[in-house]
Structure 1
């Protein structure tokens, strides 16, 4: 669950050199594609904030101890204005009432909303100085805020990542950006690391235009979140100190419509230790936090 974009987030700055399209990368960042134009008769509502409503079908997602299948509604946005570079989305889990036994959402006492916002502020623009050097084009104060509005504190997440980001010139059509963060953890589904600074995250995002196809633009988008340096695994035998979520997307974009197929790999997804045995009252099961999941997305951009 929790968006393709969980951990995705694209930046217009990273993809600005592309001549025709600027595109975001996440699950919950990675699914938007917008034709760049200076025409005042733009087909979009905003001249800088790209927006979309998506229907997302997900299977075998591994952010928690059990694999989840879900069909949900998502509002997604990204853009660049002055020093602000922002990506975000709001998910409404199980919005259509469809999911597996491990899934719950807006209509059945689960989380009514899951959101992630990734604002970055350009240090170059705020200081009026060109700080980039070598392949590093621009530097940012980077943040990533995640909130899962569970029905009680044991079903709620409230996390802030704060650090430094940059856009990287590859000398090719490949758009590349990276962020490094420290993590402050408020609520975390009742885990032992609540209300503390606990660990770090390295995020890398990339975008590559593949071809014009069927009147649209076919793009390859990817991003990965590597969480490390946590103490959670030292405090609980069923958790880990690190985790990885790596995502690759094929995206076909038109002026208003967007279609994506997503494959994501988790290792210790959600910092749950793969293979451990748990029982939440419905019988014992083994944690499945290593492996692949997928998303299919259809979206309308406005």
Structure 2
């Protein structure tokens, strides 16, 4: 049995973490700070007249990203893509999302396709959370857990056919965790509802779970106004029925590590991401997608570099 290869990677959750680094270096963490990413920079939190951005709470940016050896499928992908991203916190609603234009410059390896060569014209992800503390009007904090949320993550890849399309909803609960250090920490636990999934056997079912941990550590602030921040997150997917299929696994882990060098508008980043059974593919399995046998590679390191502008 063969499967279509995934077209895109999930990078926007990482960019979400990067957006709040300026504030973290400018002031101590407060109760509403979260590694999930709803915290804006100090300039964005000022009045509309003084903010260098278009909104005092709704943050946007455009980023050009180059990636290499990205193993969300059994054939590592190299790509250069454009990403539009937004995030913000308004009342109980923590908003986040991004839209990617794959292979926007026509640059990618033989396993990559995008908007110009009959691949997916867009890949998007939206990760809203809703504060249960604010909905109930009372603090639900206890121990190290500062605030609780209903948490969602919707991923959609608009492939040209069902075999090249993904439509996944993660739904569950999230929390922000007090570390008593400059490090911000958030966690989410989801159940997965799967619709299209590149023709895989778990389509149109509730299938498995995801445990997610996100963390930010401000490192330095410089006289030129720039900041240096370490950010990261780890996704552990488990309990999938794909483990019953040849070449697939029930569990998968992706861990991402980033250094961000950022000004008020301009941002430069480098990321190293480690995959273990990326996309629930078993590393080293012999596969065939209709173009001859090959040995799948879903373990190892992938890399990203990007330059972006926040507005």
| Fold conserved between structures, TM > 0.5 | yes
Displacement of 1:301: 0.4
Alignment of structure 1 residues 1-302 onto 2, 5 Å = 1-5=8-12, 9-10=16-17, 19-20=26-27, 34-36=41-43, 37-39=45-47, 40-213=49-222, 214-234=224-244, 236-302=245-311
CA contact (8 A) 1:4 1:295 kept: no
What SS does the corresponding residue of 1:171 show, helix, strand or coil? Answer: coil
The CA RMSD measured in Å over matched residues stands at 2.6
Once the two structures are superposed, what CA deviation does each residue of 1:99-149 show, in whole Å capped at 9, x if it has no partner?
A: 000000011011110001100000000110100111110000000000000
| Deviation for aligned residue 1:65 | 1.5
TM-score (norm 1): 0.92
Aligned mates of 1:66, 1:252 — CA distance in 2:
31
Contact 1:13 1:167 in 2 (8 A): no
Residue 190 of structure 1 aligns to a residue whose secondary structure is coil
Q: Distance in 2 between matches of 1:148 and 1:95?
A: 15
Kindly state the Cα deviation for residue 282 of structure 1 after the two structures are TM-superposed: 2.5
Indicate conservation of the 8 Å contact 2:20/2:40, yes or no.
no
Residues 284 and 249 of structure 1, relative CA distance in 2, 3 Å threshold: same
Distance, in Å, in 1 between the alignment partners of 2:168 and 2:25 is 33
1:278 positional shift: 1.4
CA distance in 2, matches of 1:253, 1:12: 9
Structure showing the higher strand proportion among its residues:
1
Superposed displacement of residue 91, structure 1: 0.7
Q: TM-score, normalised by structure 2?
A: 0.89
5+ residue gaps in structure 1?
none
- Give the whole-Å Cα distance in 2 for the aligned partners of 1:16 and 1:230: 38
CA contact (8 A) 2:22 2:227 kept: no
Question: How many residues are paired up?
Answer: 298
Counterpart CA distance in 2 for 1:78 and 1:253 is 17
